Amino acid sequence: MFEWRDAPRADFAVIGDPVAHSLSPKMHNAAYAHLELPLRYTAIRVERGEVASALEHLRDSGYRGVNVTVPHKEEVLGWIERYEPMEPMPAQELPVNTVELRGRTGTNTDAPGFLRTLASALPSPLVGKRVLLLGAGGSARALALGLESAGYEVSIFNRTRSKAGALVAGLSLRARVLERPDPDGVGLIVNATASGISGEAPEVLWERAPSSAVAYDLYYTAGPTRFMHAAERHGLQAIDGRAMLMEQGALSFEWWLGETAPREVMMKAVL
Ligand code: NDP
């Protein structure tokens, strides 16, 4: 992990704070090695308020692109000049997790990456199209738009209810804002809160969840997360965010390089 002013020579990076824990360098470097591409990917810490200066510096140092993680996905919108939606997402501007530095262009691969995992990474097929989405931050915003445009019926619960209301209004969604984290009748419960980062899990009325529901934590740790433990205690199947990490990374790779990403190699690198 490097501070942005001391960034080494490389081609791509993930910027965030904290960022030392990120598996993105391992995953992208494994892909480059597999395809024998002479590229290097690093992790770079950037403090809040310094995103624009850091991106200028990285671009002038020869970097081609960055992935953006917590807490910078909104701040980066102030630097990019063009937002390019990625299929199958609609045109609305979302928090940016992938930047092409020379063209000052940004996109969001989190939501399309997440949608792909619904077909490929779940422990069992989803029953029905109803989803309980927890959180109202950047990831929740992207996922709410992605899920709804893919035909899912979304209910959102956030600790601070007004933020869930603002999310729905801001994107003109049909999603319902809940007063309680009630998973009654849903096929999927998604934890898109930042609670995992502080070792916590969001509140869920687990006893009301159908036993066929799948619990999906965007967060990941070495073992099962607290959210996954809670779901499993109530008999639900649960997965963590590593498959999504791989898919959003593979889509960033393809957007930057125009080459098919070696998904199996990238998945192996994050397991
Ligand atoms: P944000 O900081 O934007 O998310 C903030 C949200 O989390 C708010 O809704 C906030 O509620 C809620 N929150 C924070 N702490 C708690 C808590 N203790 N209990 C309940 N709610 C809480 O983060 P992001 O949306 O960018 O990321 C969310 C999570 O998704 C992170 O864990 C991140 O690592 C993960 N992620 C994983 C990816 C992957 O590829 N696997 C990709 C992107 C994100 P309030 O409004 O009340 O403050």
Q: For every one of its 271 residues, what pLDDT tens digit does the chain have, with 9 covering 90 and above?
A: 999 999 999 999 999 999 998 999 999 999 999 999 999 999 999 999 999 999 999 999 999 999 999 899 999 999 999 999 999 999 999 999 999 999 999 999 999 999 999 999 999 889 989 999 999 999 999 999 999 999 999 999 999 999 999 999 999 999 999 999 999 999 999 999 999 988 999 999 999 999 999 999 999 998 999 999 999 999 999 999 999 999 999 999 999 999 999 999 999 999 9
d(CA 190, CA 118): 11
Relative to the CA of 135, which ligand 1 atom is closest?
9
To the query of whether residue 73 is one of the catalytic residues in this protein, the response is yes
User: Before 181, cis peptide (omega within 30)?
Assistant: no
- For residue 77, report the distance from its CA to the centre of ligand 1, in Å: 18
Relative to the CA of 241, which ligand 1 atom is closest?
41
What does each C-alpha distance from 59 to 12, 21, 68, 77, 258 come to in angstroms? Answer: 10, 24, 14, 16, 20
pTM, 2 dp: 0.96
The protein residue whose alpha carbon is closest to atom 16 in ligand 1 is 195
- For residue 193, report the distance from its CA to the centre of ligand 1, in Å: 3
Ligand 1 proximity of 109 Cβ (cutoff 6 Å): no
